[in-house]
Structure 1
Amino acid sequence: MPHSRDNLIGSLWMILAMAGFALEDASIKGAAQAMPVAQVLLIFGFGGMAVFGAWAAYRAQPVFTRDVLSKPMRIRAVFEICARLFYVLALTLTPLSSATAIMQATPIVVVLGAAIFFGENVGWRRWSAVVIGLLGVLLILKPTPSSFSPLSIFAVLGMLGFAGRDLASRAAPKSLSTAALGVFGFAAIVFAGGAFTIWDGPNFVAMDLRQCGLMALAVGAGVMGYSALMQAMRTGEVATVTPFRYTRLLFGLGLGVTLFGEQLDGQTLIGCAVVVASGLFLMWRGR
């Protein structure tokens, strides 16, 4: 059983991972203000593939093995494509703070999926927490004619995609290394960018120094976040480390307010609190 020092280090790794993902989101949103979504996806995907491919080569870890074509990996790729495409659309078209808040429902949907698809035992208390957490998402979405933005559906679809990816990852072959999973995860982003190019047309634009810097920052932050997340899950106890995923909400809200001038109303903050509380309760009951 990991010592308290391991749990502390694992928790710090998780906080670093969430900071990296929030910075990735902000960089992508900033770049997408002047670049087509397809171009952002392609550059981000190829950049991440290059970094993780170099990492795998440095550590002499195979990337292309028979297990890559296994059914869980094929399902994981489909969910990854949907998640990345819709979430980048959400970052582009909706406030960063609301997209980040909706993403926090991912663990709740994962518990729901685990009960349905993996037959995990979920008692009435955990089912109640799932329902309450989804009600918190509705508070964030504000489904009233005067305040509802249909574009927020992109964030919901992205969140469902990430939840499906996480569920499929549980069944992924253990022989695949973190670097290999990273390569194919970013390859799915390239595929999503290519598909969106066919849909929207190749209306790419020339990039200036600011856009190049934002995309480089997005790739670096994304790789850092992914690597720190893997390190966190392998250092401390999962039940101790996982709740620190919710620090991403704090980073996302802070970046949305300071960088993009977004304003948070009381209903959004209440919804965030409900989602986080439900997720933490599910983790506690699961332990």
Structure 2
Amino acid sequence: MVLSDNTRGALLMMAAMTAFTLNDACLKLISGQITPMQAVFLRGLLTTALLAVAALWSGALRVRLARRDLGLVLLRGVAEAAAAWFFLTALFNMPLADMTAILQALPLAVTLGAALVFGESVGWKRVSAILAGFVGVLLIVRPGSDVFSVYSLFGVATVFCATVRDLATRRLSREVPSLTVTLASASTVTVLAALVGLGEEWATPTPGEYGIIALSSVLVLIAYLTVIMAMRVGDIALVAPFRYTGLLVAIVLGLVVFGDWPDALTWTGSAIVVGSGLFAFWRERQLAVPRPRVPPR
């Protein structure tokens, strides 16, 4: 059966969000033993090594990037590293489902960012959906309440950094292989994690913790590849809403693995964010002009 670009993009996004969330759960399991940057560094070593082998085998290391694409790849890597630090610091101190719920504002932030940075047209209906989505985030974060902490703001910072990452990905030339972008991002994150973690006291993981880090590396490798491919295949208006798969997976994992269950306001905020995102992308689909797409290498 031949799948359309939109179907491929949706399946890739679902796979990416599931892999990302499973990876998050792995790292949260060892959060009491090692620091966020140590976790990112150890995970990144294995991920980068696996990617380097794959890139060498596929010829992705022999690609010559134009100056514009090189700048975008570097920007994407730095944004990915910043997002990883904010995210893991928050994740180690927040319920998995709450943190994942905040991240559901990312598709709305990408839509707003595309309008502000690239001058893409966004009508008042989609602007209203974006504003409603951020109201939903406020219900989850709840500044000034007893449940609020600085780690909630770290979650919002993660959304900002991830928005920069996704916008940079979208502006890459389609001739740039996804594997090349993935390897560059993973290596940048690993190097920056080592530099940031120089002032921290690193622990010696147990064999079991090394096993969890190895599993996390494989999951994040799958997530890196599939999310980049998803952002470059099919209509973004149809593909992006499938990011919400991650929230469903996080709620199940939070309950089964960590015993966390979102409270009523978190459920309400999550529903508003998801509903706003679906409406925004439905509206974008209504206004979209069909255009031919060339699958990335």
Superposition TM-score, scaled by structure 1 size: 0.90
* 1:244 aligns with one of 202, 225, 242: 242
Asked whether the equivalents of residues 80 and 165 of structure 2 are also in contact (C-alpha less than 8 Å), the reply is: yes
Distance change >3 Å, CA 125–CA 15, structure 1 → 2: same
Asked whether the equivalents of residues 141 and 148 of structure 2 are also in contact (C-alpha less than 8 Å), the reply is: yes
Matched, 1:61 2:60: yes
Quote the offset at 1:136 in angstroms: 0.4
Q: Which residue of 2 aligns with 1:25?
A: 24
The unaligned stretches of length 5 or more in structure 2 are 286-297
Quote the offset at 1:88 in angstroms: 1.2
Matched, 1:51 2:85: no
Distance change >3 Å, CA 12–CA 169, structure 1 → 2: closer
1:27-63 Cα deviation digits (max 9, x unpaired): 1111222112221111111222111111111112226
Partners of 2:205 and 2:265 lie apart in 1 by 38
Q: Which residue of 1 aligns with 2:122?
A: 122
Quote the offset at 1:213 in angstroms: 1.3
Partners of 2:62 and 2:186 lie apart in 1 by 13
Partners of 1:260 and 1:71 lie apart in 2 by 40
Distance change >3 Å, CA 79–CA 34, structure 1 → 2: same
Q: Which letter does structure 1 place at the counterpart of 2:98?
A: S
Quote the offset at 1:3 in angstroms: 7.1
Matched, 1:285 2:289: no
Q: Which residue of 1 aligns with 2:260?
A: 262
Instruction: Choose 3-12 or 174-183, whichever is displaced more.
Output: 3-12
* Percentage of matched positions with identical amino acids: 34
Matched, 1:133 2:133: yes
Q: Which residue of 2 aligns with 1:174?
A: 174
Distance change >3 Å, CA 246–CA 233, structure 1 → 2: same
Q: Which letter does structure 2 place at the counterpart of 1:84?
A: A
Asked whether the equivalents of residues 85 and 189 of structure 1 are also in contact (C-alpha less than 8 Å), the reply is: no
The unaligned stretches of length 5 or more in structure 1 are none
Describe the SS at the equivalent of 1:70: helix
Partners of 2:46 and 2:81 lie apart in 1 by 16
Quote the offset at 1:192 in angstroms: 3.1
1:16-35 Cα deviation digits (max 9, x unpaired): 22211110110111122211
Q: Which letter does structure 1 place at the counterpart of 2:106?
A: T
CA-atom RMSD in angstroms: 2.3
Asked whether the equivalents of residues 16 and 225 of structure 1 are also in contact (C-alpha less than 8 Å), the reply is: yes
Describe the SS at the equivalent of 2:148: coil
Distance change >3 Å, CA 6–CA 106, structure 1 → 2: closer
Superposition TM-score, scaled by structure 2 size: 0.87
1:117-170 Cα deviation digits (max 9, x unpaired): 100111110111110000000000022332212221111111111111101112
Partners of 1:230 and 1:78 lie apart in 2 by 16
Quote the offset at 1:228 in angstroms: 3.2
1:81-123 Cα deviation digits (max 9, x unpaired): 2111111111112111111111110111111111111001111
